[in-house]
Amino acid sequence: MRTTSLAVVVIGLAASPVAAHLGQDQFGRFPFTVGNALVGGGTSWGLVLPDDDFGGFGRVCEESFGPAVTFAIDQRATKGRIILGGVQGLEATTDGGCSFTVLNNELAGTFPNALWTDPNDAAHMLFGTSTIGADNGIWRTRDGGDTVTPVIVARRGNFFSIAASDDGVHIGIGGNDGDGGVLLLMSRDSGATFVDVSAVVFERVIVSPLAYDGAVLLLGGLDPSTQGFIDRVAFDGTAATITHVGVTPRQTTHAVIFDGAVYTIARNGARGELYKENDSALGFGVVEGGPSECVVKNGARLIGCGKQAGLNAALFLASNDGAAWQTEIPFIDVHYRACPDGTAGQTACASFIETFCGDTNDDDFDGATDCDDDDCRANPLCASEGEGEGEGEGEGEEGEGEGEGEGEGEPPGSCCTGDGGGAAVAFGVIALRRRRRATARG
């Protein structure tokens, strides 16, 4: 089962910091893990990672790296290297997102917006491109993105999603043919050869390979009636056959097999919900309280991406049974990380940080002012206040968190290796301690 998330949602650059951070909902996209611990991820809100200096989770704003559609992690490096795909090609950061470098390979200048990461080898990835006004292809790397080789030579059309079996033998690639039709290519020899099986799905509007159940592809997307769907596609090396599973109200963008059932995210730009396969006429039923943006499997539980519907919403969630979901990383627990002077993270994100900690103004428009904002936790003006008040108020809010199902602050549990997606990341020994804000935001 593929555990990467393949959502193709472009992060747009905003005209003003207020509009970018107050006027639109933010959401999680690609969870990252170290072993059994969830350690942040790629989000529409920026890059979220543990803050080794001040504890909790810090983020570098999305404006520091521009429009990006995929995130991956190269876990071989001691400090970890984060790779993202955007309009300049593949970019890499080794300083937590403060600065990015465009990798000097054949993907430079292309738009790699589809990604599969090998769950058994984080350095092995497949990329699909969708560059406007150019032919597009599929590329493979076995060294974490430093070098790439073509799997499918550039051709007319676009590639939007890739799924593969855990052993990498069975591969499905989806996109369009450049002439208004859908494109579905399948391989059962690790990508040595592909067969165009688009004829079996020609009536679909969008086709997205989402995951594999053994050797069978779980195919999602959108049909002509604007419903989402999940099909099982079997491929014998020559031809493909389809078994319909069910439909959802919106386009299906993610799928996993968990406890013998298909779980899928159905979403559009404004709304997303988690659905579980059942015996109803539609074939799926909504899971109340579940994630809205992604669902991925790792080990014995599910990790999901949430959407900001208020300042205390969940950025990432987890479930042991697929039915009851708990907040793992709430938005309110994430503060801005300060990047070194001269880096893109410092230049682009400075206006989103509570830079003046004694002026009674909410400098970063996040609802917390001066010493009540985590951005000021290291400021000398706030040191004595934090020591005197943090423990009592922090305990009170932990109590609220337990009642709301947000947990008590233990290290988060396991997640995915990820959509088009998030992969495991090693950041050395990371103490994942949760720090509640001294003042709750309404």
* 424 inside domain: no
User: For position 377, what pLDDT does the model report?
Assistant: 66
Name the more confident of 189 and 358. Answer: 189
User: For position 368, what pLDDT does the model report?
Assistant: 74
User: For position 225, what pLDDT does the model report?
Assistant: 95
pLDDT for 161 beyond 90: yes
* 441 inside domain: no
Residue 21 · residue 352 · CB < 8 Å: yes
Average pLDDT of the chain, as a whole number: 76
194-198, 241-245, 404-408: least confidently modelled range: 404-408
User: For position 95, what pLDDT does the model report?
Assistant: 86
* 108 inside domain: yes
User: For position 441, what pLDDT does the model report?
Assistant: 31
Q: Which of 140, 259, 138, 133 is nearest to 209 (CA)?
A: 138
Confidence band (pLDDT; 50, 70, 90) for 214? very high
Rounded mean pLDDT of 164-189? 95
Number of domains forming the structure of the chain: 1
Please give the share of the chain, as a percent, with pLDDT higher than 70.
71
Rounded Cα gap, residues 152 and 175, in angstroms: 13
- Looking at residue 187, which CATH number applies to its domain? 2.130.10.10
pTM of the model: 0.76
The 10s digit of each residue's pLDDT in 366-402 is 667 778 876 676 677 786 554 433 333 333 333 333 3
Rounded mean pLDDT of 175-196? 94
Tokens of 68: 């990006």
User: For position 258, what pLDDT does the model report?
Assistant: 95
Residues 6+ apart with CB under 8 A from 426: 34, 75, 76, 77, 78, 80
Confidence band (pLDDT; 50, 70, 90) for 314? confident
Q: Which amino acid is at 255?
A: A
User: For position 38, what pLDDT does the model report?
Assistant: 84
The 10s digit of each residue's pLDDT in 50-81 is 887 778 888 887 777 766 666 766 544 434 78
Rounded mean pLDDT of 167-177? 95
Highest mean pLDDT among 14-28, 43-57, 392-406, 409-423: 43-57
User: For position 334, what pLDDT does the model report?
Assistant: 85
pLDDT for 418 beyond 70: no
* 28 inside domain: yes
User: For position 309, what pLDDT does the model report?
Assistant: 65
User: For position 397, what pLDDT does the model report?
Assistant: 31
Please give the share of the chain, as a percent, with pLDDT higher than 90.
42
pLDDT for 110 beyond 80: yes
Rounded mean pLDDT of 348-359? 70
Rounded Cα gap, residues 218 and 60, in angstroms: 34
Residue 435 · residue 332 · CB < 8 Å: no
Q: How far is CA 216 from CA 145, 151, 172, in A?
A: 28, 21, 10
pLDDT for 254 beyond 60: yes
User: For position 60, what pLDDT does the model report?
Assistant: 86
Rounded Cα gap, residues 401 and 314, in angstroms: 12
User: For position 356, what pLDDT does the model report?
Assistant: 67
Domain that holds residue 105: 24-266
User: For position 442, what pLDDT does the model report?
Assistant: 34
Residues 6+ apart with CB under 8 A from 179: 156, 157
Rounded Cα gap, residues 339 and 349, in angstroms: 9
Burial of 413 (0-12, 13-18, 19+ CB in 10 A): buried
User: For position 67, what pLDDT does the model report?
Assistant: 62
* 369 inside domain: no
User: For position 383, what pLDDT does the model report?
Assistant: 67
173-177, 283-287, 430-434: least confidently modelled range: 430-434
Count of C-beta atoms within a 10 Å radius of residue 194: 18
* 152 inside domain: yes
